[in-house]
Chain A
Amino acid sequence: MSPKRHVREIIDREDRPLLQVENLKTHFDTDHGLVRAVDGVSFNLARGRTLAVVGESGSGKTVLSRSVMGLLPHQRVIREGRVHFGDVDLTGTTERELRDLWGAHIAMIFQDPVTSLNPVVKIGRQITESLRHHLAMGRKDAKETAIALLRSVGMPEPEQRLNWFPHQFSGGMCQRIVIATAIACGPKLLLADEPTTGLDVTVSAQILDLLNRLQQERYMSMILISHDLGVVTGRSDDVIVMYAGKIVEKAPTTTLFRETRMPYTEALLRSAPRLANASHTRLHSIPGSPPDPSGYPTGCRFAQRCPYGQPRCRVEEPPLRQADSPGHVFACWYPVGTPEGLQALETNLAHNESAAVALVPGEAI
């Protein structure tokens, strides 16, 4: 496994995080208007740690992960902010240079395993491809490595399976193949974008456990994206809750569950689908849907749907501020579990509606 070409060494110092994201913005110029999918997101991720990114569909999680990597469409995209990966500034790098990192140091697992494998290419070649490309392995070495990789992701009879096509596997097996492909070159950072959507509950748990095991064995950093806070519990060190392209709360996982501050997080927790529920169901306990990403309202973007919402929320946008515990930040004027929050909730209950909503009469939620 001698790195002959393509693999660029990443200097990863212990005294600073592997991944530093500062005020990352990703906007799309579409025919519907300027879609602000990611709108100023900052976080750090240390080597060997797992960061979960949670939010409803449309909160910008997927775009965030692709934007961190630089894996965006070529046209009509505006990306701002800084992303440092080790000693490399990913935002100031051309795609040609990024390609040396992609697959080798940063890898990605996609939502739908069945469509993320090329239907007309044998899975063996899909796995060996990056080995041969990044590590300049010979055909035989690459094949043996692929067999070992398949075995490590729990594929039975990997020698024969190399010659199979994706349609001959189940969804869960496809995701194992995708994972094997992603970790082939030993990446330092793994981005897993809802890796268990579309898989059934037991398979989903197996895949998540597999990811955790591989992450620990290989000392990878991982960003685990999910719409389900339940998935994240016990599988991540930190959690970022995203809403409408912004971070609304960020905390170490245990802190987040114990000291929830943001009403949106609270709502997510309440509505978190139990394992028995089908994945990707709408979160019924949060009324309404996320705001139009091409025209966010002023003030807090969650105000419309917030049970704590007050007139101030519709006018002034709350900044991210420090909570009591270290590493815990949130963006809310009337946080959960504080006297102000409690009062706001009571006021709304007395009026039997959210004050923020009442500001704009006639607007449907």
Chain B
Amino acid sequence: MADEREATVSSHDLTAPGPMELGVPGFSPTATMVDAELAGLEAREGLVPAVSKRRFKSLGWGFWVAVAIVGAWILVAIFANLLPIPDPNSVDVNCLVSTSPSSSHLLGCDTTGRDILARVLFGSRVSLVIGFASIAISEVVGGVLGLLAGYFRGSLDEVLAIISNSFLSFPFLVLALVMVAYVGRSLFDITLIIAILAWPILFRVVRAATIEHAQRDYVLATRALGAKSWRVLTSLLLPDVVPTAVTFGLVGVAVAVVGEGALSFLGLSVPAPTATWGNMIAQGSTSMTTDLSLLLSPAVAMFSFILAINFIGDRLRGVLNVRHGAL
């Protein structure tokens, strides 16, 4: 968005008349403020060239940088054990002398003498596995329920809406903590807990998209021709709602990673000694007066991943014209 806006003409250029830089894409305050009807603009709306093509081009280099960052983290998470780094849980006696960065420990060591770089890279595994797996479960559960509720409406829809609303409205972390107390804190438990908390988001998004698409002419026409419900759902509506589900799913991954991070930070996610970004940040925040690297390294790692994945989601949402109103 920002690079587009920079291209718009600044007010200083307007004091003099003459050829203006016309057809600049982006938001124009004047067009909306001047009564568009009186300026005779409404008749021109049909003449605006197809926006979507331009928008796809305007994904910009920032989008691809974000994709590269997310891709890199996925590769790191998969191949962490092949990388030339020490074992994340092994204690290096040299580190007990000095924890500061050295050639053998690029980011230094933590207070117990473990390599920070290795722990950050291995820590991505917990975050990414929980992030992607929990959202995958939510996509399936929330997506299917959303499609059904949005298509059939009725009491099924109402009951699911009440359930999802109450899930969404209650403090996320309180529910997560309560479930940790009752269920447990293995990698599988945490994935499941976050999936249970995240499905209502995707349910609502998919439901809203389904309702919108189900009212379109081609869907109504297909139904009028006597197509079976499951056919309409799978061959017409499913492809329509997938872009929405995927873009919001990406944002969901960021939410899940933050959620897991919060639990780890409180020491209530996957138990030690497994490295997670959250528990490293917690550890780092207690020793920040002596060792900044332990706090900053996992923080930067997590921030880069969340920012990149949010950015991708945001851009895709703009390009695919997925409305915010869906929530």
Do A and B interact directly, with beta carbons closer than 8 Å?
A: yes
Q: Which residues of A approach B to under 8 Å, CB–CB?
A: 25, 27-35, 37, 57-63, 73-78, 80, 111, 289-294
Is the pair A60, B25 in contact by a Cβ cutoff of 8 Å? Answer: no
> Which of B15, B23, B26, B31 contacts A28, CB < 8 Å?
B31
Decide: B38 and A63 in contact? CB cutoff 8 A.
Answer: yes
Question: Is the beta-carbon distance between B37 and A58 smaller than 8 angstroms?
Answer: yes
Are the C-beta atoms of B17 and A31 separated by less than 8 Å? Answer: no
Query: Closest approach, in angstroms, between the C-beta of B33 and any C-beta of chain A?
Result: 4
Chain A hits for B24, CB < 8 A: 31
In the complex, the answer to whether A78 meets B17 with C-beta atoms within 8 Å is: yes
Known: A62-B35, A63-B34. A76 touches B22 (CB 8 A): no
Give the residues in chain B near A76, CB-CB below 8 Å.
Answer: 9, 11, 14, 28-30
**How far is A132 from B38 in the complex, measured between Cα atoms in Å?**
34
- Residues 1-41 of chain B, each 1 if its beta carbon lies under 8 Å from chain A, else 0: 00000000101001111001011111011110111011111
Query: CB of B43 within 8 A of chain A?
Result: yes
Residues from chain B with a CB closer than 8 A to the CB of A35 are 34, 39, 41
User: In the complex, what distance in Å separates the CA atom of A63 from the CA atom of B15?
Assistant: 18
Which residue on A lies nearest to B38, using beta carbons?
A62
Instruction: Confirm or deny: B53 has a beta carbon within 8 angstroms of a beta carbon on chain A.
Output: no
Given contact pairs A35-B39, A57-B37, A57-B40, A30 touches B14 in the complex (Cβ within 8 A): no
Which residue among A29, A57, A59, A61 has the maximum number of chain B CB atoms within 10 Å of its CB? A29
Contact pick for B38, options A57, A78, A80, A292, CB 8 Å: A57
Closest approach, in angstroms, between the C-beta of A304 and any C-beta of chain B?
Answer: 14
- Say yes or no for B228: interface residue by CB 8 A criterion: no
B324 at the A interface (CB under 8 A) = no
In the complex, are the beta carbons of A293 and B39 less than 8 A apart?
A: yes
Interface pairs (28), CB distance under 8 Å: A25-B17, A29-B22, A29-B30, A30-B39, A31-B22, A32-B23, A33-B22, A35-B34, A35-B41, A57-B38, A58-B37, A58-B38, A58-B40, A59-B38, A61-B38, A62-B35, A62-B38, A63-B38, A63-B39, A73-B30, A74-B11, A75-B11, A76-B11, A76-B14, A78-B14, A78-B17, A292-B44, A293-B41
A32–B31 touching, CB < 8 Å: yes
Closest to A293 in B: B40
Q: How far is it, in angstroms, between the C-alpha of A78 and the C-alpha of B11 when the chains are bound?
A: 10
- Structural contact, A30 and B40, CB atoms closer than 8 A: no
Distance (Å) between the CB of B116 and the closest chain A CB? 50
Interface residues of B (CB under 8 A from A): 9, 11, 14-17, 20, 22-26, 28-31, 33-35, 37-41, 43-44, 48
- Are B38 and A75 touching (Cβ within 8 A)? no
Q: Tell me whether A289 and B17 are in contact (CB under 8 A).
A: no
CA distance A30 to B29 in the complex (A): 8
Given A75-B29, A76-B11, A77-B14, are A31 and B38 also a contact pair (CB < 8 Å)?
no
Please state if B41 and A32 are interface contacts (CB–CB under 8 Å).
Answer: yes
Report whether A289 and B28 are in contact in the complex, using a CB–CB cutoff of 8 Å. no
The closest CB in chain B to the CB of A29 belongs to B20
Assuming the contacts A75-B11, A77-B14, asked whether A30 and B37 have C-beta atoms less than 8 A apart, the reply is no
Inside 8 A of A63's CB, which chain B residues have their CB? Answer: 34-35, 38-39
Give CA–CA (A292, B45) in the complex, Å: 11
Chain A: CB-nearest residue to B25: A31
Most buried by B among A28, A32, A59, A74: A32
Q: Give the residue name and chain of the B residue nearest to A25 (CB).
A: B17
Q: How far is the CA of A32 from the CA of B39 in the complex (A)?
A: 11
Q: State in angstroms the CA–CA spacing of A35 and B28 once bound together.
A: 13
List of A residues within 8 angstroms of B23 by Cβ? 31-33
Q: Report A-chain residues with C-beta under 8 Å of the C-beta of B16.
A: 78
Task: Report whether A31 and B40 are in contact in the complex, using a CB–CB cutoff of 8 Å.
Answer: no
> A28's closest neighbor in chain B, by CB?
B30
Bound-state CA distance A239–B124 (Å) is 76
Cα A80 to Cα B25 in complex, Å, equals 26
Kindly list chain A residues whose C-beta atoms are within 8 Å of the C-beta of B37.
Answer: 57-58
Starting from the known contacts A33-B22, A80-B17, 19 additional A-B residue pairs (CB-CB under 8 Å) come to A25-B17, A28-B30, A31-B31, A32-B41, A32-B44, A34-B22, A35-B39, A35-B41, A57-B37, A63-B38, A76-B11, A76-B30, A77-B14, A77-B30, A78-B15, A291-B40, A292-B40, A293-B39, A293-B40
Distance in angstroms from A237 CB to nearest chain B CB is: 24
Which chain B residues border A32 with CB–CB below 8 Å?
23, 31, 41, 44, 48
Provide the residues of chain A in CB contact with B38, threshold 8 Å. 37, 57-63
Interface centre among A31, A60, A62, A73, by most chain B C-beta atoms within 10 angstroms, is: A31
Expressed in whole angstroms, the Cα–Cα distance for A30 and B11 within the complex equals: 12
Complex Cα gap A30–B36 (Å): 11
- Is A289's CB under 8 angstroms from B11's CB? no
Kindly name the residue among A76, A78, A294 whose own CB sees the greatest number of chain B CB atoms within 10 A. A76
Q: How far is the CA of A51 from the CA of B218 in the complex (A)?
A: 54
Which 5 pairs between the two chains have the least Cβ-Cβ distance? A58-B40, A30-B31, A73-B33, A76-B30, A62-B38
Contacts of A292 in B (CB 8 A): 40, 43-44
CA–CA, A29 to B15, complex, Å?
11
* Complex CA distance for A292 and B67, rounded to whole angstroms: 43
Smallest CB gap from A62: residue in B = B38
